[in-house]
Amino acid sequence: MEQNSPDLWISKLPRPFESGHKYSRGHAVIYGSPELTGATRLAAEACARVGAGLVTVLAKPDVATIYRTSLPAHIMVRDDLTWTDPRVNACLYGPGGMPCPVDFDGEMPVVLDASALVDLPDTLSGRFVLTPHEGEFSKLFPDLSGEREEMLRQAVERTKAVILLKGAKTLIGAPDRQFVVNDHASPYLATAGSGDVLAGMITGLLAAGMDPFDAACAATWMHGEAAIRFGPGLVASDLPGLIPSVLASLPGQK
């Protein structure tokens, strides 16, 4: 299993170009939790910081006001869960809870995190990124047992999706790709909300045009690098603000 590092994905990391505009950098949609709004807010801010040109949170009308008053001005909020825009090119379900069922049709990349990791179709495709921790993985695949790597390989073969199995050593697998292990991280990531930030980062890179597997690898490494830079006392809300310095330290990103 290959070690995750910028060498694997740096050449594919999206970079803005002079004639670009916000839609050329991608438009991501995040489905807002009806209760645990902090999880959605963490994901949305990380999604914007990592490179999506525009982030829109879709929420039920009774909680949309919470998002409008608590999210920064650069993140849009709409109170219609059926709203669509042809320029949306990545979406995220699950952080904090589900305001609506997952739409499994369509062609855009989709990240399924936390509450979205239930009742999935037997087979998905490589445009889906699943981000379970150990407990969620066990519930998704109760019939699998053995070493983590082998279980992940079986799960990827079954779903045909990109799967990021979170842990002290995060494993990332995709159909027809070399599996990757990421231990570039910090024990201080074991804090509420850090997974929501990671899901938002993956979504932002997808919106900016990155391949799902490469986006999962890049987001995981940068998420770990941000935590390493901060050190003790880290809480999840510290992470989005660290993303710009992590990006700036990578070759070709200044």
What is the tens place of the pLDDT at every residue in 75-113?
Answer: 999 999 999 999 999 999 999 999 999 999 989 999 999
122 in a domain, yes or no? yes
Instruction: Characterise 12 by phi-psi region: left (phi > 0), alpha (psi -120 to 50), beta (else).
Output: alpha
Residue 159, pLDDT score = 97
Q: What is the mean pLDDT of the chain?
A: 95
3 in a domain, yes or no? no
Q: pLDDT band at residue 14, thresholds of 50, 70 and 90?
A: confident
pTM: 0.96
- CATH code: domain of residue 111: 3.40.1190.20
Q: How many domains does the chain have?
A: 1
1 in a domain, yes or no? no
In which element (H, E) is residue 55 found? strand 54-58
Residue 24, pLDDT score = 72
Query: 145: domain range?
Result: 21-239
**Pick from 168, 175, 162, 176: which is nearest to 217 by CA?**
162
252 in a domain, yes or no? no
Measured in whole angstroms, how far is the alpha carbon of residue 135 from the centre of its chain? 18
Q: pLDDT band at residue 210, thresholds of 50, 70 and 90?
A: very high
Q: Which two tokens stand for residue 55?
A: 């982030």
Residue 253, pLDDT score = 66
Residue 254, pLDDT score = 60
Q: With both helix axes pointing from N to C terminus, report the angle between 61-70 and 37-50 in degrees, rounded to the nearest 10.
A: 50
* Mean pLDDT, residues 220-245 taken together: 97
Q: Is the pLDDT of residue 158 over 90?
A: yes
Q: Which of the 8 DSSP states describes residue 33?
A: P
89 in a domain, yes or no? yes
Q: pLDDT band at residue 1, thresholds of 50, 70 and 90?
A: confident
* Mean pLDDT, residues 109-118 taken together: 97
164 in a domain, yes or no? yes
68 in a domain, yes or no? yes
Q: pLDDT band at residue 15, thresholds of 50, 70 and 90?
A: confident
* Mean pLDDT, residues 17-43 taken together: 87
CB 209 within 8 A of CB 54: no
Cα–Cα distance measured from residue 119 to residue 233, given in angstroms and rounded to the nearest whole number: 36
Cα–Cα distance measured from residue 202 to residue 63, given in angstroms and rounded to the nearest whole number: 25
6 in a domain, yes or no? no
Cα–Cα distance measured from residue 147 to residue 186, given in angstroms and rounded to the nearest whole number: 23
